[in-house]
Amino acid sequence: MKEIQGFGQGLGKTARGSACRLLAAFLILALMVPFLAACSKKEEETPTGIANYGNQGADFARKLASSFPQRFPYSSQEAAAADLIVDELKKLGYEAEKQTFSVQDQEGGVKQSANVIARLAGQGFQAVSKQGGSEDTAPSSVRDDLIMIIGAHYDTPLVEVPANDDPEAPAPPDGIHNNAAGVAALLTAARIMRQETPGYDVILVFFGAGTDQFAGASHFLSSLSADERTRVDVMVNIGPIYAGDKIYAHAGQNSVLEDQFKDYAKRRKLYQATDIFFEYQLNTRNRYAVFTNQASFPVTLESGQQAVFREWTSLESDHTPFDKAGIPVVFMESGDYRISRIEDVGIESRNPFFKDTGGQISGTRFDQTDILEELFRQMDEQTAGQTIPKIESDEGEEEGDSGEDTSQGLVPRLVLRINNTAFLLVQLARKGPLNFEFRS
């Protein structure tokens, strides 16, 4: 302090004041340097642009729905929709295959549909040592033969709509929810996987006749060789993800054991999917939450045993043939599992707008692009200033994932659901089996 006081004694009043101000500014700057450096480091470590995949997926969903609104199983529009998907895959650099199959109806007639298939080789997985590092590159420490199947049906349920010549009558359903949005999420993931290579060998399958007892999925499973079936680590099915209240991920019924016991090996991929959601703070950053069914009431299985209805669903879809074959599955859909009895499974929305159909959107007149986009636009406007929805904990209380609100502009629901579901698929394809990690 003596040196500082002496510094000012030989100066005039004005000069001393200027010197003091200069010295104070220097001291403040010196104190702020560590703080600024820490903030800069934090900003560098914070991931940005998560699921920032643009509008390409949503545009395709609208195109599929509007071009072929009556793409019912075995119809000409379903066949045209398959060709549209083939063309899109080729634009993305894939060699797309059409796998045709036939089904005999009750009258003995033969109906035809097709699966659209694309394949992408993965980089494999590296064993992780007990210390957390990677093992040597010995053959036994590398898994590069595992298969991940990701599927979505591209047909839409047949909906009987009464003839109406009124030009102001609502347009008939076009399946934007079930399942154009699911198809678009799979195509978006396919596009991004060309840049972010998966660890698995990925088989992308767009199932035909999915709404006819998942005929396409059954045929595809039967077409796999014995070697391929032993290499399949998981099948992920993307169902209707657009219009339901929440996004849910389920394990298969083959992971259900008696009472409250679970087959954790069969649920590992489900838990990895929810880990990705929390790891990347998708709820806080993007308003995209992944829920699991936490209903927790007892149900009777086909075996006659009692089990807890938790983290799985009784809904059947394109994952069902794989589930019954003992293959681990993850089924993603949007809906609402705040239920207390098995009969309520299938409710997709609590919004009073859907009261006429008991909360169901799939296979109803509400599954129409203009209707849904206008509804969600109005909902976004009403909630623009509200906080982001929180996550329900196992106890039914709500909790949010960590992180701060980015205060970003509201993203339309169709874009948000498609891009974030695709992001989760891309990351899940890099999550390896137990004790293995992505081989970079």
H runs (alpha helix) in 178-246: 181-193, 215-223, 226-231
Tell whether the model's pLDDT for residue 387 goes beyond 60: no
- Per-residue confidence (pLDDT) for residue 384, from 0 to 100: 74
Higher pLDDT, 247 or 259: 247
Q: List Cβ neighbours of 324 (8 Å cut-off, separation of 6 or more).
A: 254
- The partner residues of 115 in beta bridges, in order of sequence, read 99
- Per-residue confidence (pLDDT) for residue 284, from 0 to 100: 93
Q: How many helices (H) and strands (E) does the chain have?
A: 12, 15
Global pTM exceeds 0.85: no
- Per-residue confidence (pLDDT) for residue 9, from 0 to 100: 41
3-state secondary structure of 83: helix
Closest CA to 218 of 231, 202, 205, 227: 205
Closest CA to 282 of 399, 431, 421, 394: 421
What does DSSP say about strands 201-207 and 147-153: parallel, antiparallel, or unpaired?
parallel
H runs (alpha helix) in 319-368: 320-324
Please state the φ and ψ torsions of residue 155, each to the nearest 5 degrees. -80, 170
pLDDT tens by residue, 304-344: 889 999 999 999 999 999 999 999 999 999 999 999 999 99
Tell whether the model's pLDDT for residue 152 goes beyond 90: yes
- Round to whole Å and give the CA distance between 318 and 337: 20
CA atoms within 13 A on the CB side of 345: 20
Contact 252, 345 (CB under 8 A): no
Q: What percent of the chain lies above the pLDDT cut of 90? A: 72
3-state secondary structure of 119: strand
Helix axes 181-193, 56-67, angle to 10 degrees: 140
What does DSSP say about strands 97-104 and 110-120: parallel, antiparallel, or unpaired?
antiparallel
Pick the CATH number of 51-161+168-438 from 3.30.465.10, 1.10.1660.10, 3.40.50.300, 3.40.630.10: 3.40.630.10
Closest CA to 188 of 309, 279, 64, 283: 64
Closest CA to 250 of 238, 242, 259: 238
- Round to whole Å and give the CA distance between 322 and 221: 7
- Mean local confidence (pLDDT), 52-64: 98
pLDDT tens by residue, 104-151: 988 889 999 999 999 999 999 999 976 555 545 455 699 999 999 999
pLDDT tens by residue, 397-413: 444 444 334 445 689 99
- Annotated domain spans of the chain: 51-161+168-438
Tokens 């010196």, located at residue: 30
- Per-residue confidence (pLDDT) for residue 286, from 0 to 100: 95
Tokens coding 286: 């993007």
Tell whether the model's pLDDT for residue 193 goes beyond 80: yes
Contact 405, 390 (CB under 8 A): no
Angstrom distances, CA of residue 253 to CA of 176, 232, 240, 361: 28, 17, 19, 24
- Per-residue confidence (pLDDT) for residue 32, from 0 to 100: 45
Contact 54, 189 (CB under 8 A): no
Tell whether the model's pLDDT for residue 96 goes beyond 60: yes
- Per-residue confidence (pLDDT) for residue 46, from 0 to 100: 39
What does DSSP say about strands 232-238 and 329-335: parallel, antiparallel, or unpaired?
parallel
